[in-house]
Amino acid sequence: MAAEGSRGALQAPAERLPVLQDSEASRTVAAADRQPPNARDGGETPESLRVPAAEERVGSSLGGQSIDPVESLSQLLEVSGEYKIPLPKAKFQAICSALHNQICSPAKQLSIENHKELFNCVLLLARSSPDDMLAFLHKQQEIEHEAVRVVSLELLRAIVGADLPETRVKKLLIVKAVKSTLSDQNATTQGTFDRFGSLIGRIAPYSCDSLATSRQWVVDCISCLLCIQGQTINLGSAEEELRCLREALTAPDPEALFQASSKMARVVSEYFPSEQATDFIEATLGGLLSASPTCATAAGLWMKIILKECGGAMLDKVPDILAILYRHMPTIQEGSLRQFLVEAVSILAHHHREAVISSLLSKRLPMDSDTAELWRSLGGDPLLATQVLQALIEKIKTPARTEGNITSEAEIDRHLAAAEPLSATCAIFEVVSALQSSKAVRELLPELFPVLLQQVSQTLGQELPLPMRSSPSEIRKGLQLPEGNPCR
């Protein structure tokens, strides 16, 4: 009877699926319908009658150049969810296993697009059968293998972050499962300690979740992580502070939640390993767009606090942190969230001014809008802006010498684009434009004016760097740029 029910469910909407005709996904549906009933219900099928299932093609093809099998599976799952077509339990489990194995396989480096497709398939499965998906991931967390457990935590975080209507009521169960995994000392290895920063970055924003019970369980998860991270040292008053904050997170007022979450970030900062700063920043920014507004704000607050409290020990991480912030700027456009990015650069500059200036000067000219915004972030604080301008003046006065001969037109272009005096001149323009204190500008003008005149005289007659464009549309767009302006 179950087999007949499954067959009927698959056949009912067949005439309503014209969008998938002649596609890989439609052939997959047809293939599944041609299989004998015992095959769809998880029974054995003779090899001669066996049709390769979607999850098997995923398992065998994701490591190659084509991602069509993943796209086809995604289409199939979308149709299944839209028309309420239940997947046989055995097939559901097999697809989950294939996807999970592909994500955590160390032998296969997935592209960003392929990685997104895989996670999208997991979310579609979670929508169609949230109980089965959570049961599968909980079972994976019981496996004493670090990669399997970490991927399971990643997928649970993605499900929570997507805020699916089907899984919203399951959020507390998800957080409990995360806590159970982190509390399992027997399954913890040194590799798990190395993931302290990334796990904190993924879990901490949910301290401002809409459910009070979820917020409290997040405190428990962070307590477990601190115990793992600081198991060889005395946590002192940290445990007591977290217990107090656990109660504070029951408040319904968002401002009170932000204050409690910020206090928790300061507690964690005392034990935060600076060498994991990039993992933490990457994880935090990755959740900004997928989280709820309050969780996204909490993520930004945690990032600022960790950088402020621990930034002094992050000198060797400055270029990598700036690269991560810069890479996320095109996708984070909402004003309040974007402000967290530029404030993070300013905080880093307070700790390591020279390192930040050198990293930003290495950006190619003409200066794009994101780089210009990062420079302007250094003009918000008059004291910092004055120090940055003085450093930029020195860059123009004493340009770095380029060793070796320049032998090609491309190398000339790269040389000009990286030339510190010209980049520093453009940077001065951006910093001054954001500087609110006219007094600071007046004090620097006697030194700044002749240096800028000197730079103008040195660039007269030189071929200024042009932006790299690879398509006609970009070239047409570039025609709108002011002629002769190397900064923008």
Cβ-count burial 471-486 (b if 16+ within 10 Å, e if not): eeeeeeeeeeeeeeeb
Q: How far apart are CA 427 and CA 379, in angstroms?
A: 10
The confidence score (pLDDT) of residue 24 equals: 40
Tokens read off for 44: 């054995």
In sequence order, what DSSP letters do the residues of 274-307 get, joined into one string? GGGHHHHHHHHHHTTTTS-HHHHHHHHHHHHHHH
Pick the closest to residue 262 from 238, 245, 247 (CA basis): 245
Q: How far apart are CA 270 and CA 254, in angstroms?
A: 25
Helix, strand, coil shares of the chain as percentages rounded to 5? 70, 0, 30
Q: How far apart are CA 358 and CA 311, in angstroms?
A: 17
The confidence score (pLDDT) of residue 145 equals: 77
Let me know: does 463 contact 406? Beta carbons within 8 Å.
no
pLDDT of the chain along its 488 residues, tens only? 433 443 333 333 333 333 333 334 334 433 434 343 333 334 433 333 333 343 444 444 444 444 457 777 888 888 887 778 888 888 888 898 888 888 887 666 667 777 788 888 888 888 888 888 888 887 887 777 777 877 887 788 777 767 677 766 566 566 666 666 655 545 444 444 678 898 899 889 989 988 888 888 888 888 888 877 765 455 667 878 888 888 899 888 999 999 999 999 999 998 899 999 999 999 899 777 766 889 999 999 999 999 999 999 999 999 999 999 999 999 998 889 999 999 999 999 999 999 999 999 998 888 899 999 999 999 999 999 999 999 999 988 876 555 545 555 555 444 543 468 889 999 999 999 998 878 888 888 888 888 888 778 777 766 555 454 444 444 444 444 444 455 66
The confidence score (pLDDT) of residue 346 equals: 96
Q: How far apart are CA 155 and CA 175, in angstroms?
A: 12
Let me know: does 215 contact 258? Beta carbons within 8 Å.
no
Burial class (CB in 10 A: 0-12, 13-18, 19+), 335: exposed
Say which amino acid occupies 76: L
Let me know: does 349 contact 386? Beta carbons within 8 Å.
no
List strand residue ranges (DSSP E) for 197-272, in order.
none
The confidence score (pLDDT) of residue 258 equals: 95
The confidence score (pLDDT) of residue 2 equals: 37
Q: How far apart are CA 188 and CA 341, in angstroms?
A: 33
The confidence score (pLDDT) of residue 66 equals: 44
The confidence score (pLDDT) of residue 391 equals: 94
Burial class (CB in 10 A: 0-12, 13-18, 19+), 317: buried
The confidence score (pLDDT) of residue 485 equals: 56
The 8-class DSSP code of residue 139 comes to H
Tokens read off for 383: 């004291």
The confidence score (pLDDT) of residue 269 equals: 93
In sequence order, what DSSP letters do the residues of 157-208 get, joined into one string? HHHHHHT-TTTGGGHHHHHHHHHHHHH-GGG--HHHHTTHHHHHHHHGGGGG
Burial class (CB in 10 A: 0-12, 13-18, 19+), 303: buried
